Structure 1
Amino acid sequence: MVTISGKTTDNVFYRYEDLDLEDSDDVLMVSEYVSEIFSYFYKSELDCLASPELMLRHPNINQNRDILVNWLVKIHNQFNLLPETLYLAVNIMDRFLCRELVALDKLQLVGTASLFIASKYEEVYSPSCKNFASVTDGACSEEDIKQGEVFILQTLNFKLDYPNPLNFLRRISKADEYHMDCRTVAKYLLEITIVDFRFVGIPPSKCAAAAFFLAKKMMGRPYWDGNFIHYSGGYSKRQLQGCVKMMMEYLEQPVIHEEFYKKYSTRRFCKASVASRDWAKRVIEQGFNVMDLHESNN
Structure 2
Amino acid sequence: MVSEYAVEIFDYLYSLETKYMPNPRYMDDQSDLDWKMRGVLVDWLVEVHTKFRLLPETLFLAVNIVDRFMSVRVITLEKVQLVGIASMIIAAKIEEVFAPSVQNYVYIADNGYEQKEVLKAEKCILEVLNFDFSYPNPMNFLRRISKADNYDVQTRTIAKYLLEIGLVDHRLMPYKTSKVAAASMYMARMMLKRGDWNDNLVHYSGDYTESDLIDVVNALLSYLTEPVTHEAFFKKYASKRFLKASIIARKWAHETVGAGANAEGW
User: Same fold, TM exceeding 0.5?
Assistant: yes
Structure 2 CA distance, aligned partners of 1:264 and 1:109?
A: 26
Structure 1 CA distance, aligned partners of 2:144 and 2:262?
A: 27
Cα RMSD after superposing both structures: 1.5
Q: CA deviation at 1:286?
A: 9.7
Q: Does 1:110 align with 2:57?
A: no
Structure 2 CA distance, aligned partners of 1:285 and 1:37?
A: 40
Tell me the percent identity: 46
Q: Does 1:143 align with 2:116?
A: yes
Q: TM-score with structure 2 length normalisation?
A: 0.96
CA contact (8 A) 1:55 1:94 kept: no
How does 1:1-298 map onto structure 2 within 5 Å?
A: 29-59=1-31, 60-285=33-258, 290=263, 293=266
Q: CA deviation at 1:69?
A: 0.4
- Supply the AA of the counterpart residue of 1:33: Y
Q: CA deviation at 1:292?
A: 5.2
Structure 2 CA distance, aligned partners of 1:241 and 1:170?
A: 21
Q: CA deviation at 1:139?
A: 1.7
DSSP-derived class of the 2:257 partner: helix
- Supply the AA of the counterpart residue of 1:83: P
After superposing the two structures, state which structure 1 stretch, 259-268 or 217-226, moved more.
Answer: 217-226
Q: TM-score with structure 1 length normalisation?
A: 0.86
Unaligned regions of 5+ residues in structure 1, if any? 1-28, 294-298
Q: Deviations over 1:204-225 (max 9, x none)?
A: 1001001001001001124111
Counterparts in 2 of 1:286 and 1:201: CA distance versus 1, 3 Å: closer
Structure 2 CA distance, aligned partners of 1:168 and 1:81?
A: 19
Structure 2 CA distance, aligned partners of 1:52 and 1:288?
A: 24
Q: CA deviation at 1:181?
A: 0.9
Counterparts in 2 of 1:89 and 1:288: CA distance versus 1, 3 Å: closer
Query: How many correspondences in the alignment?
Result: 265
Q: CA deviation at 1:230?
A: 1.0
- Supply the AA of the counterpart residue of 1:265: A
Unaligned regions of 5+ residues in structure 2, if any? none
Structure 2 CA distance, aligned partners of 1:85 and 1:177?
A: 25
DSSP-derived class of the 1:56 partner: helix
Counterparts in 2 of 1:254 and 1:289: CA distance versus 1, 3 Å: closer
Structure with larger Rg? 1
CA contact (8 A) 1:283 1:290 kept: no
1:4 is aligned to none
